Amino acid sequence: MSVFSSSVRTAAIVARLRAAGCVFAEDEAELLLSTASTPADLDAMVARRVAGEPLEHVLGWAEFCGLRVYVEPGVFVPRPRTAFLIEAAVALAREVEGTPVVLDMCCGTGAMGAAVAAGLPRAELHAADLDPAAVRCARRNLAGSAAVYEGDLYDPLPLTLRGRVDLLIASPPYVPSESVGLLPPEARLHEPLLALDGGADGLDVVRRVIAGAPTWLAPGGRLLVETSERQAEATAESVRAAGLAAQVAISDDLDATAVIGTRHRDG
């Protein structure tokens, strides 16, 4: 807790946060107090949070897989459930002989890539996203550990990656368009629509990621796509239609679902 904090100030902040609907007001107050550099900075941060801005945007960082990831206002905040995808990816990458080549597609802040790099320091890591603000965050979070490309899915990737990717991880937007309005205000008002809206059934971008994957995967390479449990079978069908073997993995603890596609070793 910072030197300018006091029990009275802390109690006042907790009261303001609780009145604004923050369920974990005490924890948030502690984070705001420890992050702010001056009393004026603290007051401004509390005001932003009370106004409904995501805590991570206010702090300037999000915790993901034990890492502190830089997050700018207006950028998609990495979700705790995505840790399930990372755990699966790291476990599969350890089966690769030599240096695993990993591609973080729809990388957002680069949180997934950073977590993979932490678990696989020997990996060759690449990341890509369409949103310039997200790419800016990713380049900061992945500085020195990955090449980050800006563009639509596979378009900006170097041709030298074709057929070399051992692990392709992706958390594309998968919220159906009609459900975006039902998301919490922190998401629908403060995160980019392109990171949330997956089209009529939520799978427009997911299908495009899957369709392009076989060209970039190495023989035996894996595609791991985050989706919802309700969309898992349709996602798996798209994986099979792309010529990959498909399996669905679910974590009840994290309320997370991933579909894993494997390219046959004979190509």
pLDDT tens across 157-190, in order? 999 999 999 999 999 999 999 999 999 999 999 9
What is the reported pTM? 0.91
Tell me, what's the pLDDT at 115?
A: 96
DSSP 152: S
Tell me, what's the pLDDT at 48?
A: 95
Q: Is 66 helix (H, G, I), strand (E, B) or coil?
A: coil
CA distance 47 to 24: 16
Query: Average of pLDDT values for 192-203?
Result: 96
pLDDT-based confidence at 5, cuts 50/70/90?
low
Contacts 24+ apart (CB under 8 A), 150-158: 153/105, 153/106, 153/128, 153/205, 153/208, 153/209, 153/212, 154/105, 154/128, 154/212, 154/215, 154/216, 156/128, 157/103, 157/126, 157/128, 157/216
Helix or strand run (H / E) with residue 132: helix 132-141
pLDDT-based confidence at 267, cuts 50/70/90?
low
CA distance 84 to 89: 9
Query: Average of pLDDT values for 202-227?
Result: 97
Q: At what angle do helices 39-50 and 25-35 cross, to 10 degrees?
A: 140
State pLDDT tens for residues 223-253: 999 999 999 999 999 999 999 999 999 999 9
Tell me, what's the pLDDT at 3?
A: 44
State pLDDT tens for residues 75-116: 999 999 999 999 999 999 988 889 999 999 999 999 999 999
Q: Of 63, 76, 83, which is closest to residue 256 (Cα–Cα)?
A: 83
Q: Pick the more confident residue, 223 or 267.
A: 223
Q: What are the phi and psi torsion angles at 253 (to 5°)? A: -60, -40
Average pLDDT across the chain, whole number: 94
Give the list of residues 6+ apart from residue 97 with CB closer than 8 angstroms, or none.
none
State pLDDT tens for residues 125-136: 999 999 999 999
Dihedral sign from CA coordinates of 78, 67, 260, 264:
positive
